[in-house]
Amino acid sequence: MPKIAFLMDPIETVSVKKDSTLAMIAAAQQRGLEVFYLQQDGLVLSAGVVTALTRALKLRDDFCATLDPNTAGDDWYALGDEQAVALAEMDIVMMRKDPPFDMEYIYTTYLLERAEAEGVMVVNRPSALRDCNEKLFATLFRQCCPELIVSRRMDQLKAFHKQHANVVFKKLDGMGGASIFRVMEQDPNLSVVLETLTNSGREQIMGQVYLPEIVDGDKRILLINGEPVPYALARIPSAGETRGNLAAGGRGEGRPLTDRDQWIAQQIGPELKRRGLMFVGIDVIGDYLTEINVTCPTCIRELNEQFGLDIAGDLIDTCLQQLENTQV
């Protein structure tokens, strides 16, 4: 039976109500895979071999079947004793460590890449995790994006603001709606916002034309091996907010994909497959792609609940099919 390891945040911090990684763990267990739990500090390189300090992981059977948070209790999972095994003994490693995307994250991708070279399927591919900044990667698809600028120079950023009058500025490594500022025409805070975000001109940031369609939701669209799930989760800002992120207080409302959503997915899907980005979440406001999230996409549970889907199951099945194809 295939072995799958989940490299993730401490399991005791997982939200039993909405965590997407938990849905993947349940899907793997339901399919009879051997499931293992792994954290970043459990990766060790010695004598040319990457060893993983893993623990067998099992969800309680009744909870695994439903993921009903009301029945989770305190014993919803059980961990075995820690064991040191060559990471190459795993068939699949799901990289589900939440950002920040820092140097420790990058070092982890280097170690995972060593296992990948020995035949382990790593989701998502470690090199792609390094290469595909979630905001900059989207700009490769110019036909899908709104007007934007990436710079750390005040004169360039201010000129973009003068041209468009209503602009959203954000850090390139921000997450969960943090460090996002809408700056309107004649806003006296423009200079201080830019100084703060660029660290006084030392860090690149993005400026993006404000999209008024944000009031109808910032849509999260999930793609599995380049193919979109047929429904999006529109994250609608709370009153007085311009950020739809659930972490920033937005609420999630499921919707079928529009023709434009499908078109955007078709534009980027082949490149995602080429780079080994098996599970991706793109953000769409109105008609425009704003981000391509590759590190630890979420919203599986919300869409499953609203539309009776099994997104995590589809993902695990796709991984197993690819694994079978490589072993033929």
Give residue-wise pLDDT tens across range 11-43.
Answer: 999 999 999 999 999 999 999 999 999 999 999
Residue 55 designated active-site: no
Q: Measure the CA dihedral 201/206/210/216, to 10°.
A: -130
Active-site entry in 291, 301, 302, 304: 291
- Measured CA to CA, the distance from residue 222 to residue 65 in angstroms comes to 23
For this structure, is 19 an active site residue?
Answer: no
Q: What is the pTM of this model?
A: 0.95
User: Which residues, other chains included, contact 221 with Cβ-Cβ below 8 Å and sequence gap of 6+?
Assistant: 228, 229, 232, 257, 261, 264, 265, 281, 282, 283, 284
**Longest Cα–Cα distance in the chain:** 64
What are the tens digits of pLDDT across the range 195-212?
Answer: 999 999 999 999 999 999
58 labelled catalytic: no
> Is 283 one of the annotated active-site residues of the chain?
yes
What residue type is 317 in one-letter code?
Answer: D
CATH class of 213-318: alpha beta
Question: Is residue 125 annotated as a catalytic residue, yes or no?
Answer: no
Burial class (CB in 10 A: 0-12, 13-18, 19+), 129: buried
Map residue 15 onto helix, strand or coil. coil
Q: Is 291 a catalytic residue?
A: yes
Residue 264: closest CA among 282, 243, 245, 244: 282
Token pair for residue 77? Answer: 């999972």
Q: How many residues are there in the chain?
A: 328
Q: Provide the pLDDT for residue 241.
A: 73
Catalytic residue among 219, 220, 275, 301: 220
Query: What is the pLDDT, as a whole number, of residue 178?
Result: 80
Letter string b/e over residues 254-290, b meaning 16 or more CB atoms within 10 A of that residue's CB: bbebeeebeebbeebbeebeebbbbbbbbbbbbebbb
Residue among 19, 134, 261, 283 flagged as catalytic? 283
Looking at the predicted structure, is the pLDDT value of residue 179 above 70? yes
Query: Among the options 18, 243, 275, 301, which is catalytic?
Result: 243
Task: Report the topology of domain 3-125.
Answer: Rossmann fold (3.40.50)
Give start-end residues of each CATH 3.30.1490.20 domain in the chain: 147-210
Fold (CATH) for 147-210:
Dna Ligase; domain 1 (3.30.1490)
Residue 293 annotated as catalytic: yes
Q: Which of 304, 306, 316, 319 lies closest to 27, judged by CA?
A: 316
Structure tokens at 250: 């937005």
- The lowest-confidence range among 7-16, 134-143, 170-179, 284-293 is 170-179
CB atoms within 10 A of CB 24: 25
Helix, strand or coil for residue 51? strand
Question: 151 falls in which pLDDT band (50, 70, 90)?
Answer: very high
Q: How many Cβ atoms sit within 10 Å of the Cβ of residue 147?
A: 12
Q: C-alpha angle with apex 135: 134 to 141, nearest 5 degrees?
A: 100
